[in-house]
Amino acid sequence: MPWSETPFAVPLLLAAVTGLLLAAYTLGRRERLDPPAVAAFVTVALATALWTGAYTQQLAATTVAAKLFWTRVVWIGVALTAVGWPVFVLAYTGHRRVLRARVLAALAALPALCVLAVWSANYRWLLTPVGLRDVAGITVLEIAPGPLFVLFLCYSYALDVVAIGLLARAAITRRGTRRREAAVLCLGSVLPLAASVASVAVLHPYPYVDATPMAFGVTLPLVAVVLFRYRPLSLVPVARTQLLEKMSDGLIVLNADERVVDANATARALLANGDGLIGRPAERALADHPALLDAIERPDDDGERSVVIERDGERRHYDVSVSVVRDSLGAVSGTLVSLRDITRRRELEQWYQSIVDRSTTIVAVADAEGRLRYATPSFERTLDYDPGDIVGERVTDFIHPDDVPTFQSALADANEHGTGALREVRVRDAEDGWHVIEGQARDLRDDPVIGGYLLSGHDVTARRRTEQRLQALNRVLRHDVRNELSVVQGYVSMARERIDDEEVREWLERAHSASEKLLDVSETSRYVDAELERDPEVARRDVTDAVADAVAAVERTHPDVRVAVDAPESARADVTRLFEFAVEHLVRTAAEHAASTDEDVEVRVERTTAGVELRVRLGERWLSEGDERVLEQGEESPLAHADGLGFWIVHWAVTAADGTLAVAEDGRVVVLRLRDPDAS
């Protein structure tokens, strides 16, 4: 078969060889590459090699039959390229969801129809060979396009325009090397389209010569540069888009010349002029953030620093980690800077530190030998010690010698149970005074952060002093006053028997009555104090029985007062030992008011879903504002206080068993609500 030489043989064969080499390179590394993009690109590379190689033969052939044969082969490459390149662009730009079997079949339908047509007897639907022509010394085949050819041309142009649009968008929106590789691929996509348009419109001096495959002689080397330099088909760029761009940590990459070559979305949003970081020297790109620039240039020994970055009026804390990247020869090839937002952690640290600094609780850490390793600032406020001055000292050096066994016992309990109670240990302050400290010791020697005994305590010196004073006053009230009142009563009784003056006798009667009341208060104080000294024993008792006993006692002392009781046969609830005394006090107080008003005292007991409700009612107000305050709130004021201890006892008795009290109907009714765990 005779052949003729053409000036296009060398660029066409170069494009064919480039396509084969790129396909072989890509297939040899397919395990580390993105599968959809690899399949599409290999298809394009092989199709381009087939197209350019076959077109070289078509131009060199000298007969119509030979040229028609190679034209048919060319159409196989044309059809594969027309589908493969848009598919590659879709995969490269991240539109993988479009690449489904039905979509691919639809894209390939028209190109496949053209291939079938050109190899069939009805090839004139696609093209009609007119004859051979000599163009500038080259024998070319003159072809008349058919309707299928025109349809395919419009279809392929539309796909090319879409591909160019996607690549242009990627070149505009991406940053760093990803922007450059997209721009190169966009240029490589424009060249074949421009060559095809020039050929169809006969804008070059060689009519009937298709410049499109020759344009691939330029496009494929451009693609080769992208593949070898930027490696766009590697899984790493795909992972970077999915991972690095969406990371909450900011990432900045500097090259060996300390120029910013990449930054993820978090870093760009965080830093001032974030969209203008790429390509600028670090000292200029980060000029608005001198603390960050200083952390990058002079990191700590562990490669980390903490900085504060302010953006839009908001201050946030970041941990800056600087990692130097070296090549195989040990030379610095770049720097990776990561920014982790630790604002919440720093706020918590400052919050906890503020609590520790202002707390009155003294906290210390002692090692296994009992030496202080840490002391909170409260040591200075409580004991006048500078925390830094006492670190390293033995804890027992500050404890009263008589209380050292108590402290050692607490440590022993901590060793065995994890926690040991420190009960009233006397600790010496900086002025050699003694403070009573109460707290606990925890064994945290295995804790990686504490690594010792955690000691905490409160200064209860003032409370202990108050308790001692109250004990002394209580002893005077229970014993000395009672004894002296008994003497007063004895002398008043003797004087009353020897004096005939009725007015004086009446005075003595009042004095005797007042002393009787004081003795009752003393006895009540002794009883209540003894009960309160013990743990408040709570037990289920019958409220109906307690009411019956209280009413009976009151009726014996107030026989003229009628007490009406409405109660079920049994109503059990949780109460303390003081409950019967409390009920009797309420009924007796109401009876004393009723004696002067001819009112009836009403006592009602009712079972509820939560337990038992007890109501003591009188027709008129019989409680003062101070009484109500004590019953409901358990407190007094200088202007509103209860009369005696009785209502205090009622409050203590009910609330100790988790009950509640209320005053209703403008001071005429006292309501006690008692719990019963078994109630439904």
Per-residue pLDDT band for 605 (boundaries 50, 70, 90) equals very high
Percent of the chain with pLDDT over 90: 9
The string of DSSP codes covering 141-201 is: EEEEE-HHHHHHHHHHHHHHHHHHHHHHHHHHH--HHHHHHHHHHHHHHHHHHHHHHHHHT
Tell me the one-letter amino acid at 659: G
Higher pLDDT, 496 or 344: 344
pLDDT at 370 over 80: yes
Residue 348 has what pLDDT?
82
Superfamily the domain 247-347 falls into: PAS domain (3.30.450.20)
Higher pLDDT, 81 or 221: 81
Per-residue pLDDT band for 303 (boundaries 50, 70, 90) equals low
9-238 fold: Rhopdopsin 7-helix transmembrane proteins (1.20.1070)
Residue 73 has what pLDDT?
92
Class of domain 359-452: alpha beta
How confident is the prediction for the chain on average, in pLDDT?
81
Per-residue pLDDT band for 301 (boundaries 50, 70, 90) equals low
Q: What is the mean pLDDT of residues 619-632?
A: 77
Q: What is the mean pLDDT of residues 365-377?
A: 89
Q: What is the mean pLDDT of residues 660-670?
A: 84
Cβ burial of 630 (10 Å; 0-12, 13-18, 19+) is buried
CA 338 distance to own-chain centroid: 21
Q: How far apart are CA 577 and CA 118, in angstroms?
A: 110
Q: Which of 187-191, 398-402, 530-534 has the lowest mean pLDDT?
A: 530-534
573-588 residue pLDDT tens: 988 877 888 888 888 8
Contact 56, 77 (CB under 8 A): no
Q: What single-letter DSSP state applies at residue 120?
A: S
Q: Which of 230-234, 489-493, 604-608 has the lowest mean pLDDT?
A: 230-234
pLDDT at 76 over 90: yes
Three-state SS string over 316-352 comes to: EEEEEEEEEEECCCCCEEEEEEEEEECHHHHHHHHHH
Measure the CA angle with vertex 154, ends 152 and 158; round to 5°. Answer: 115
Centre a 10 Å sphere on the Cβ of residue 672 and count the other Cβ atoms it contains: 25
Mean pLDDT highest for which of 387-401, 454-468, 512-526?
Answer: 387-401
Per-residue pLDDT band for 324 (boundaries 50, 70, 90) equals confident
Domain boundaries, the chain: 9-238, 247-347, 359-452, 465-532, 536-675
pLDDT at 158 over 90: yes
Residue 399 has what pLDDT?
92
- CA dihedral (262, 263, 264, 268) positive or negative: negative
Superfamily the domain 536-675 falls into: Histidine kinase-like ATPase, C-terminal domain (3.30.565.10)
Q: What single-letter DSSP state applies at residue 537?
A: -
Residue listed under structure tokens 């959809």: 36
pLDDT at 524 over 80: no
Centre a 10 Å sphere on the Cβ of residue 192 and count the other Cβ atoms it contains: 23
Q: How far apart are CA 424 and CA 35, in angstroms?
A: 74
Q: Do domains 9-238 and 536-675 have the same CATH topology?
A: no
pLDDT at 241 over 90: no
Residues listed for the chain: 680
